[in-house]
Amino acid sequence: MSTSSEIKYICPYCGREMTITIYQTVNADTDPDLREACMSGDIFRHSCPHCHTDFMVQNPLVYSDPSHKFVLYVSENPVSGIADFAGPLVRSGYRLRRCESVRAFTEKIQIFEDGMDDVAVELAKYDSFIEFIDNRKGRPEDVTSVEYQRVFDGVMKINIRTDDKGLTFHIPVGMLEEEIEEDKERYEVNDEDFPCVNSDWIISLFTEPAGNGVQN
């Protein structure tokens, strides 16, 4: 079951007060329409009734998908107050992650719905970025995003975008799984911590000689 509340909010454009509905929790199984709103980002999008301007409010949100057994916590800040139920969920086979942005949130839903390991996805994105730079296809500062697309026939599709072009990399999932298996300790994550498994996390694995990187 999903939960929401109405709050008073000041329009960031015209400065007038309004009432908006924000969701604290979303259950993808019981509320598929809200799942769609999460995937599009519309669950964070609001419109001022006075000046009719759209704006985003990224409030903390707990998103659960019992069918695919994962829980996502959307927040720029580390988990506080919801970690108490992490242990039982992890023991039940759930994957728990924190997402710092709406884009990371929507991508993580797609990754887990596809049945993929997000560690492998971040490794694929990292390898694609390095290849993009090393092969002189572009400069690091030109890259605007590195995005997971889908997996088809055991091959993962990663898109690298710049202001004026895009490039697609196709990476065999088996190759990624072998690389992770060969260095399990490096790629290990503790789900009970609601880790952020993202670009900063994967970069930290190769820049910090000790430990498994910063997860929170």
Give CA–CA dist 157/61, Å, rounded.
Answer: 28
Give CA–CA dist 98/132, Å, rounded.
Answer: 28
Token pair 């929170």 in the structure block, residue: 216
Q: Is residue 206 part of a domain?
A: no
Q: Is residue 42 part of a domain?
A: yes
Q: Is residue 188 part of a domain?
A: no
Give CA–CA dist 24/63, Å, rounded.
Answer: 9
Supply the pLDDT for residue 158: 96
The reported pTM is 0.90
Boundaries of domain holding 82? 3-113
Supply the pLDDT for residue 26: 98
Q: What is the pLDDT of residues 9-51, one digit of tens each?
A: 999 999 999 999 999 999 999 999 999 999 999 999 999 999 9
pLDDT beyond 50 at 63? yes
Q: Is residue 195 part of a domain?
A: no
Share of the chain above pLDDT 90, in %: 80
Q: What is the mean pLDDT of residues 87-95?
A: 94
18 and 97 share one domain:
yes
pLDDT beyond 60 at 200? yes
Q: What is the mean pLDDT of residues 76-97?
A: 87
Pick the last residue of a domain from 91, 113, 135: 113
Q: What is the mean pLDDT of residues 94-122?
A: 97
139 and 106 share one domain:
no
Q: Is residue 159 part of a domain?
A: yes
Q: Where are the beta strands (DSSP E) in the chain?
A: 3-10, 17-27, 45-47, 54-56, 61-65, 70-74, 95-99, 143-152, 155-162, 166-172
Q: What is the mean pLDDT of residues 98-108?
A: 96
48 and 95 share one domain:
yes
19 and 53 share one domain:
yes
Q: What is the pLDDT of residues 165-187, one digit of tens each?
A: 788 999 999 999 999 999 999 99
pLDDT beyond 70 at 78? yes
Pick the last residue of a domain from 113, 140, 161: 113
End-to-end Cα separation, the chain, in angstroms? 27
83 and 30 share one domain:
yes
Our count of domains for the chain comes to: 2
pLDDT beyond 60 at 216? no
48 and 104 share one domain:
yes
Supply the pLDDT for residue 211: 47
Q: In sequence order, what DSSP letters do the residues of 2-40 get, joined into one string?
A: -EEEEEEEE-TTT--EEEEEEEEEEETTT-HHHHHHHHH
Q: Is residue 194 part of a domain?
A: no
12 and 107 share one domain:
yes
What does the block give as tokens for 162?
A: 């710049």
**Mean pLDDT, the chain, integer:** 91
Comparing 46-55, 70-79, 100-109, 133-142, the range with the smallest average pLDDT is 133-142
107 and 132 share one domain:
no
7 and 107 share one domain:
yes
56 and 13 share one domain:
yes
Backbone angles phi, psi at 147, to 5 degrees: -125, 135
62 and 109 share one domain:
yes
23 and 96 share one domain:
yes
Q: What is the mean pLDDT of residues 116-140?
A: 90
Q: Is residue 191 part of a domain?
A: no
Q: Is residue 41 part of a domain?
A: yes
pLDDT beyond 70 at 209? no
